[in-house]
Amino acid sequence: MSSSSAKNSLSFLSQDMSVPESVSKWQSFKDSFKPAIEDKVTYEDLDLVEKANINTSNSKLSKGLKQRHLQMIAVGGSIGTGLFVGTGSALGAGGPAGIVIAWAVTATFVYTTMQGLGELSTAYPVSGGFNVYATRFIEPSIGFAVGWNYFMQFLVLLPLELVAASISIKYWNQSLNPVIFVAIFWCFIFVVTMTGVKWFGEAEFIFCLIKVVAVTGFIILGIVLICGGGPNHQFVGGMYWRNPGPFANGFKGVASVFIMAAFSFGGTELVSLSAAEADDPGRAVPKAIKAVFFRIAIFYFGTIVLIATLVPSNDPRLLSANSADASASPFVLAIVNGGVKVLPSIFNAVILISVLSVGNISVYACSRSLNSLAEQGMAPKWTGYIDRKGRPLFALVFANLFGLISFVVASDAQAEAFAWLLAISGLSSIFTWMSINIAHLRFRSAMKAQNRSLDELAFVASTGRIGSWYSFILCFLVIVATFWLAISPIGEKATASNFFQQVLGLPVIVATYIFYKVWKRDLRLIIPATEVDLETGRLVPDPDMMAEKNDPRPLWRRILGVVY
């Protein structure tokens, strides 16, 4: 289907779904919860993969995300506690050189993964994104395992982030009961996520803009502090690289930082998940994918170098505070050490906003993953209920209600409870990236086997097949490092509880893979390249899209085009 005909179809559908002026706003509100108008599709003689391809390509999700929404989500969507707070423990474990090396290498394989994902998402902007690509280009059991683990990962994140947000309030007032703020933040996220994808996009646009401005301001401030321009006029230079030294805990420390770095980039793949709800995915997705490079180069790597220079790796505050506490943030410590009085409190507010942003995104990712699984026949059909506003209603309600577990903050068992909840899908992001890389390789193999040219695509991964192989191998090495450190942790004795909390994600994903094989009695290991469906749901680029792909402008002008 061409983009023009697709827009005409959407226009026709919106006319059918409109309500007469005589209908009251209350009645219109009630009618919005009715099921979306279903297309009559005949499934005779179709196998599971063919049905999944058709359903996810014709999803009734709302097309409410603009280009600016996707670009801002790509730039700042995964900037959260992983960067603002988690880098503190990473600095303590690996030292300044260790953290810079680990983040630099991790950034390269995240970037190559996103290049392959951008190629798939631009060609097939379908509901569910990457887990559908696993079903479509590899085989359904992989899609089932990846989809359910990704769903569980973000299902757990909402209550975790709500608790983190309530704890961050203690930076200003230790006497307030955190349960009060859990309730306030839960109500806020519930309202934002239930009003529709347009308001989700607007909220994330504002959240991400605040984070981007804050990180940009920190980069400028950090350079000034390093040069001795702070209130205490101390020239930092490379002082902390010499003492306590560039590395901490040797090679094992660097390996542990690789694991933390990989988790800090979790959520980068959300661009693919939101492609199905973009009003113009052919243009919005490539621009968002290209923006990933600038986020990695500036907002991640730039800040990592600065905090590694401004904060000593042996500072006890990096390890002693709670992971949700702003006092453990190396950003805050750098500002405090520089003698700046007001900014630490402001940056704590940014951390609070980041936590709420991750909570908001977690409901979105969780609900869209469950909806996609239902459309593929991998979850009960009623869990994929979409109303006339294009909302996956049941999935949204379920994800939000699960967030009420956050009231465990009033219990003494909160830390242990969340540790085990996170362990269930602890390696989910790594497995998701691995599946993306394999799906991209299988897609390229199918294109070659079926004599199709890459010239048909509106966006082609600049790193090609080599980039996907590189990313897959690095992801595998991160899993190996996780097992090694679970068996032999740094500075403490190995325990069975700690081991399983670190590696439980692997047996869970293997169990879901085997479960699907037994359930569907599908013993094939891979879909042959000649049988891969390259047509259903494919976005046929118009001449303007192809012109943008073959942009003759100089590199610096194309960069400005992506940023602005």
Whole-number Cα distances in Å, 558 to 117, 294, 405, 475, 551: 21, 13, 46, 31, 8
Alpha-helical runs (H) found in 227-342: 239-242, 250-264, 270-273, 281-294, 301-310, 317-320, 330-337
Q: Which of 71-85, 182-196, 297-311, 547-561 has the highest mean pLDDT?
A: 182-196
Residue 314: both structure tokens together: 């042996």
For residues 135 and 52, give the distance between their C-alpha atoms in angstroms, rounded to a whole number. Answer: 8
Contact assessment for residue 158 and residue 362, using Cβ atoms and an 8 Å cutoff:
yes
Cα dihedral 374→376→381→385 (10° resolution): 50
Question: What is the per-residue pLDDT across 97-135, written as a single tens digit (0 to 9) for each?
Answer: 999 999 999 989 999 999 999 999 988 988 877 889 999
Mapped onto helix, strand or coil, the DSSP state of residue 409 is helix
Q: What pLDDT, on a 0 to 100 scale, did the predictor assign at position 4?
A: 43
CA quadruple 438, 443, 449, 454: dihedral sign: negative
For residues 296 and 294, give the distance between their C-alpha atoms in angstroms, rounded to a whole number. Answer: 5
| 53-374+381-563 CATH fold | Amino acid/polyamine transporter I (1.20.1740)
For residues 319 and 421, give the distance between their C-alpha atoms in angstroms, rounded to a whole number. Answer: 22
Contact assessment for residue 85 and residue 332, using Cβ atoms and an 8 Å cutoff:
no
* Residue 456 CB neighbour total at 10 angstroms: 14
SS3 content of the chain, % helix, strand, coil (to 5): 70, 0, 25
Mean per-residue pLDDT for 290-294? Answer: 73
Q: 162 — phi, psi (to 5°)? A: -65, -40
Q: For residue 35, what are the β-bridge partners?
A: 387
Alpha-helical runs (H) found in 18-85: 25-31, 48-57, 67-76, 81-84
Residue 537: both structure tokens together: 């749901």
Cis peptide bond prior to 554, omega within 30° of 0 = no
Residue type, 402: F
- 24, pLDDT greater than 80: no
Q: What pLDDT, on a 0 to 100 scale, did the predictor assign at position 555?
A: 46
Q: 386 — phi, psi (to 5°)? A: -120, 130
All structural domains of the chain with their residue ranges: 53-374+381-563
Mapped onto helix, strand or coil, the DSSP state of residue 35 is strand
Q: For residue 386, what are the β-bridge partners?
A: 392
For residues 486 and 463, give the distance between their C-alpha atoms in angstroms, rounded to a whole number. Answer: 33
**Residue percentage of the chain with pLDDT more than 70:** 85
Q: Which of 272-281, 476-485, 531-540 has the highest mean pLDDT?
A: 476-485
Residue type, 101: I
- How remote is the C-alpha of 122 from its chain's centroid? 17
Mean per-residue pLDDT for 269-286? Answer: 81
Q: Which of 40-44, 443-447, 489-493 has the highest mean pLDDT?
A: 443-447
Contact assessment for residue 536 and residue 54, using Cβ atoms and an 8 Å cutoff:
yes
For residues 375 and 48, give the distance between their C-alpha atoms in angstroms, rounded to a whole number. Answer: 11
Question: What is the per-residue pLDDT across 399-413, written as a single tens digit (0 to 9) for each?
Answer: 999 988 888 765 666
Lowest mean pLDDT among 165-174, 198-207, 438-447, 467-476: 165-174
Mapped onto helix, strand or coil, the DSSP state of residue 387 is strand
Contact assessment for residue 348 and residue 171, using Cβ atoms and an 8 Å cutoff:
yes
To which residue do tokens 């699960």 refer? 402
Residue 65: both structure tokens together: 């995300």
- 346, pLDDT greater than 50: yes
Nearest one of 273, 301, 240 to 73, comparing CA atoms = 273
Q: 62 — phi, psi (to 5°)? A: -65, 145
Q: Which of 16-25, 289-298, 517-526 has the highest mean pLDDT?
A: 517-526
To which residue do tokens 């979306």 refer? 36
Residue type, 186: W
Mapped onto helix, strand or coil, the DSSP state of residue 386 is strand
Residues 6+ apart with CB under 8 A from 280: 3, 67
